[in-house]
Amino acid sequence: MPTIAENIAQIEKGLKQETCLVAVTKTKPEEVLLKAYNAGCKRFGENKVQEMTSKYEALPKDIEWHMIGHLQTNKVKYMAPYVALVHSVDSFKLLKEIDKEAKKNNRVIDCLLQIFIAREETKFGLSEEEAVEILTSAALPELQNIRIAGLMGMASNTDDEQAVRAEFRGLKALFESFKQYQNEQVNMRELSMGMSADYAIAMEEGSTLVRVGSAIFGSR
Q: Which is nearer to ligand PLP, 131 or 143 (CB)?
A: 131
Using CB under 6 A as the binding criterion, the count of chain residues that bind ligand PLP stands at 14
Strands (E), the chain: 20-24, 43-46, 64-67, 85-89, 109-116, 146-154, 186-193, 209-212
Q: What whole-number distance in Å separates Cα of residue 60 and Cα of residue 142?
A: 34
From the CB of 144, what's the least distance to ligand PLP, in Å? 28
Reduced to 3 states (helix: H, G, I; strand: E, B; else coil), residue 194 is: coil
| 157 near ligand PLP (CB under 6 A) | no
Using the rule CB under 6 A, which residue among 4, 24, 49, 131 binds ligand PLP? 24
Using the rule CB under 6 A, which residue among 28, 55, 172, 211 binds ligand PLP? 211
Q: What whole-number distance in Å separates Cα of residue 99 and Cα of residue 76?
A: 10
Q: What whole-number distance in Å separates Cα of residue 44 and Cα of residue 163?
A: 28
Of 107, 62, 70, 100, nearest to 87 (Cα)?
Answer: 70
| 203 near ligand PLP (CB under 6 A) | no
For residue 15, count CB atoms less than 10 angstroms from its CB and return exposed for 0-12, middle for 13-18, buried for 19 or more: middle
| 66 near ligand PLP (CB under 6 A) | no
**With CB under 6 A as the contact rule, which of the stretches 129-137, 138-146, 156-164, 205-213 interacts with ligand PLP?**
205-213
From the CB of 127, what's the least distance to ligand PLP, in Å? 18
| 28 near ligand PLP (CB under 6 A) | no
| 196 near ligand PLP (CB under 6 A) | yes
